[in-house]
């Protein structure tokens, strides 16, 4: 992995607006350049009533309304990874507002695995070409005047990326709030030891770096939270605070993962998100279907 740049633009403090989706416990973000109207959207949500087979866009429409109301210019739609617990609304938002859809370049690994699970056939491209940009570890890109940095932080999935934007880092499922610990590492391509090393890489950022979570599950009944700091995680994270060894973490994570069931929306989420948020192509009659593979995961 590439070294963390010595001169990250941490003096820049982007404006961050969070949107919490209660059905999936997902936090999406609008990240605005403080010097211009340029912004990015991180980890958007498309609504699905799985039992009814119905797609709606209430969560995405709230993001679109905020961007329009504040006269912002959308430049990027960032996916921190291929989510297994919610569907991305990136194409829907892109159709309304423009912007480029970006994800880590190891999406090709994820696509290859799940194209087989869902029997997608040769017509499904496994080269990441459904996305506008595939970020490699160490890549930079711009939101307005801000230079952003992509860090490959695998372990939860092979394609996980942390995006460092000024003094803010968007960690996806690599970390949770300090009392939430860390995400599971038992999906195909996941690995607890790799996850620990990725987390320690994130925690090597400056202590005051703001960290923004993709999920929060309100442990012990507290209010939903999504922002913390490197310093707080290093001092208080129940799974990876300073002093917890790699072997201790791996033993804990693997034992914990063995008790977990699959996320409720994993099957529709993977089929959609490996396509950059697009639904599968319609059949000859124009109807769209999601598959239900049996005993495949």
Whichever domain contains 129, its CATH number is 3.60.15.10
CB 152 within 8 A of CB 136: yes
pLDDT tens, position by position, 95-132: 999 999 999 999 999 999 999 999 998 889 999 999 99
Residues of the chain short of pLDDT 70, as ranges, are 1-9
The answer to the question of residue 215 being in a domain is yes
pLDDT number for residue 11: 82
pLDDT number for residue 176: 98
The answer to the question of residue 294 being in a domain is no
The answer to the question of residue 102 being in a domain is yes
State which residues form the domain around 25.
15-272
The answer to the question of residue 187 being in a domain is yes
The answer to the question of residue 282 being in a domain is no
Number of domains in the chain: 1
pLDDT number for residue 1: 64
User: Three-class SS of residue 29?
Assistant: strand
pLDDT number for residue 16: 98
Q: Where are the alpha helices (DSSP H) in 57-143?
A: 58-69, 90-97, 107-117
User: Three-class SS of residue 140?
Assistant: strand
CB 153 within 8 A of CB 182: no
CA 212 to chain CA centroid, Å, is 11
pLDDT number for residue 2: 65
* Rounded Cα gap, residues 228 and 31, in angstroms: 16
pLDDT number for residue 13: 96
pLDDT number for residue 120: 94
The answer to the question of residue 10 being in a domain is no
> What counts of helices (H) and strands (E) characterise the chain?
7, 14
Q: Is the pTM of this model over 0.75?
A: yes
The answer to the question of residue 72 being in a domain is yes
The answer to the question of residue 3 being in a domain is no
pLDDT number for residue 10: 72
Report the candidate in 135, 111, 107 with the shortest Cα–Cα distance to residue 123.
Answer: 111
Q: Calculate the dihedral angle through the C-alpha atoms of 117, 122, 125, 127, rounding to the nearest 10 degrees.
A: 90
* Rounded Cα gap, residues 92 and 57, in angstroms: 8
pLDDT number for residue 69: 98
């Amino acid at each position: 992995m590439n070294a963390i740049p010595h001169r990250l633009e941490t003096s820049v403090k982007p404006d961050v607006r969070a949107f919490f989706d209660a059905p999936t416990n997902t936090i999406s973000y609008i990240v605005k350049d403080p010097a211009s109207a340029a912004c990015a959207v991180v980890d958007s949500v498309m609504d699905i009533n799985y039992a009814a087979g119905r797609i709606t866009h209430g969560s995405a429409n709230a993001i679109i309304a905020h961007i329009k109301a504040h006269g912002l210019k959308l430049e990027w739609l960032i996916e921190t990874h291929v989510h297994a617990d919610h569907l991305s609304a990136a194409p829907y938002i892109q159709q309304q507002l423009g912007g480029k859809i970006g994800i880590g370049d190891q999406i090709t690994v994820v696509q290859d695995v799940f194209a087989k699970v869902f029997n997608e056939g040769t017509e499904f491209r496994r080269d990441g070409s459904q996305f506008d940009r595939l970020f490699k570890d160490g890549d930079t890109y711009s939101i307005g005047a801000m230079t952003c940095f992509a860090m490959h932080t695998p372990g939860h999935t092979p394609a996980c990326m942390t995006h460092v934007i000024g003094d803010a880092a968007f960690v996806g499922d690599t970390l949770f709030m300090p009392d939430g610990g860390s995400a599971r590492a038992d999906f195909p391509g996941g690995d607890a030891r790799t996850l620990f090393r990725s987390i320690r890489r994130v925690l090597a950022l400056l202590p005051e770096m703001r960290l923004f979570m993709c999920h929060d599950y309100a442990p012990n009944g507290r209010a939903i939270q999504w922002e913390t700091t490197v310093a707080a995680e290093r001092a208080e994270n129940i799974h990876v605070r300073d002093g917890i060894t790699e072997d201790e973490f791996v033993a804990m994570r693997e034992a914990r993962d063995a008790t977990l069931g699959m996320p409720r929306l994993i099957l529709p989420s993977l089929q959609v998100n490996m396509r950059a948020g697009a639904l599968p192509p319609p059949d000859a009659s124009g109807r769209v279907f999601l598959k239900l593979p049996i005993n495949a995961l």
